[in-house]
Amino acid sequence: MPKTLPKITLGELITAQANATLASIRKSVVENGSEPVPEGWHRVERWSQAWKLSPPHTRKILSDGVATGVLERKSFRVPTADNGVRPAAHWRQLKPLTA
Q: What is the mean pLDDT of the chain?
A: 80
Sequence-distant (6+) residues with CB within 8 A of 53 are 61
Q: CB within 8 A of 49, min separation 6: which ones?
A: none
Sequence ranges of the domains in the chain: 10-93
pTM exceeding the 0.85 threshold for the entire prediction? no
pLDDT tens digits for range 40-65: 999 999 999 999 999 999 999 999 99
H or E, element range at 64: helix 55-68
Which CATH code fits 10-93? 1.10.10
Pairing of strands 85-93, 71-79: antiparallel
DSSP-based three-state secondary structure for 23: helix
